[in-house]
Chain A
């Protein structure tokens, strides 16, 4: 139960950031500068390059495509684990952790080396990385609690 509670926190944070990114664009399209507060807040964590952002109602989202994909990936990854009754019954926890970390590292390397070009590619790279991070984190939390239970 505590493990699931811990795992559910990052996707909630990610959801809040995605909603803020959409609010930034939609509020600015309704009446400038109402969305600027969200842009300012999100500028602390994202470069917000408007060439590398999806546009909503004619305005760029408050997060770039890679970050949007990343946070969406965290939600999808964590939700997949949370929705399974016994998440790591079929895949050993350590294997799940390794797979998650590998996906995350691939996305990080892509971000550093700029292998992908184009907004959709960047979005999917972020999505894979976010899902991988959520999977690795979930596996780590389950591993921690299973070790605690057995000791």
Chain B
């Protein structure tokens, strides 16, 4: 019984030492390209500056043959600018930024990346019709900016991160 206890103790000790040793750290370098897709639909009509939005990492991010960020991981983003369409044919505009995502070990990876979307601008046509035909046409507004779910974006890792991978 005593021998068995020693053996069991040795096995447990061995596992405690061996398991952390199996974890490996790889460096996710600043400037690494992270492909993202929008996880929801946006419009300049329904969203305002400061709204939180979500993206998804489009595919696994692999460094030295190890997955550091899993495809499908959520990416936090925000709306940095939103403007509704306005009179005289002005189009709506919406700018988004990707902020961060989570690596396989739970590290929050800071990202850089932004994109601007604009609706169809009708200013020229509205001014021409308004001046030549009827001033009431100047009340016409342009199209809202609409961004569909799945729209692609480019994000870049902002600084170096050491990620623990298995």
Dominant SS among interface residues on chain A: mixed
Q: What is the number of residues of chain A that contact chain B, defined by CB distance less than 8 Å?
A: 16
Complex CA gap A59/B35 in Å reads 9
Sort chain B's interface into a size bin: 10 to 19
The answer to whether B152 and A49 have CB atoms under 8 Å apart is yes
B32 contacts which chain A residues (CB < 8 A)? 58
Q: Bound complex: CA of A30 vs CA of B33, how far in Å?
A: 11
Task: Let me know if B35 and A32 touch, CB within 8 A.
Answer: no
Given A32-B156, A49-B152: A60 in contact with B112 (beta carbons within 8 A): no
Q: Of residues A28, A32, A39, A59, which shows the largest number of chain B Cβ atoms within 10 Å of its Cβ?
A: A32
On chain B, the residues within 8 Å of A48 by CB distance are 152
Residues of A within 8 A of B114 (CB): 33
Q: Is B31 an interface residue (CB 8 A)?
A: yes
B147 at interface (Cβ–Cβ under 8 A)? Answer: no
* A50: contacting residue among B31, B35, B112, B113, CB under 8 A: B35
Q: Are B58 and A59 in contact, CB atoms less than 8 angstroms apart? A: no
Give chain A's interface residues, CB within 8 Å of chain B: 28-33, 36, 39, 48-51, 55, 58-60
